[in-house]
Structure 1
Amino acid sequence: MKRILSLSLTLFLPGCVVGTVAKTAVDVVTLPVKAVSAGVDAVTTSQKEADEKRGREIRKEEERRGKQLRLAEDRCRKGRPLPTDDCRQTVQR
């Protein structure tokens, strides 16, 4: 029984070793390509990414302006406007 087990291990083991060595060789060869690719992706911006970033900036600016407008309207309604507030445009609610 031991001989059969030893014989079967010697037949299957080389296949495992060869497969592992081949996989390691492929990993070693493709590693520089993957590293360069990741570096290029990190420093370049696609048009889609640029558009998304610009859209976020525009939305944030609109939110900031809306907040400032609401605060100015509130100050005008309460009768405490700042010198920069234009209370003529404030709609009375």
Structure 2
Amino acid sequence: MPIRPLLLILLPLLLGGCLLSAAKTIVTAPIKAAEVVYDTATESQEEADIKRGRAARKAEERAEREARQAEKDRRKAERQRRRDEGWN
């Protein structure tokens, strides 16, 4: 039996799954892209809470740094004032 007629009969059956898979990928690609855009554009309540907590911690750390620097500047000014008055 020649192989060519057998291939012609089996080829559509063998490629059917491949073609269906490719068609499914093409059809679902825009939906997946829209999902990614939606997820990027919106944030969940949990994500919002995390951002708010991070911003609060950063503000608190900044306030602490500023307070330490202000105390350091105050001490330096006090030492300079005492030197200027002759306290040593």
Q: Mark yes or no: TM-score above 0.5.
A: yes
Q: Distance in 1 between matches of 2:72 and 2:6?
A: 86
Q: After TM superposition, list the pairs within 5 Å mapping 1:76-87 onto structure 2.
A: 76-79=74-77
Higher helix share: 2
Q: Distance in 1 between matches of 2:31 and 2:19?
A: 19
Following superposition, which runs of at least 4 residues in structure 1 exceed 3 angstroms of deviation? 3-16
Q: 1:12 to 1:78 in 2, by over 3 A?
A: farther
Pairwise CA RMSD of aligned residues? 2.5
Q: 1:61 to 1:14 in 2, by over 3 A?
A: same
Q: Distance in 2 between matches of 1:78 and 1:8?
A: 96
- Equivalent residue for 2:57? 59
Which TM-score applies when normalising by structure 2? 0.69
Larger mean Cα displacement after TM superposition, 45-54 or 70-79: 70-79
Q: Which is bigger in relative contact order (C-alpha 8 A, separation at least 6)?
A: 1
Q: How many equivalent residue pairs? A: 78
Which TM-score applies when normalising by structure 1? 0.66
Q: 1:77 to 1:22 in 2, by over 3 A?
A: same
Structure 2 counterpart of 1:68, one-letter code: E
Percent of aligned pairs sharing the same letter: 40
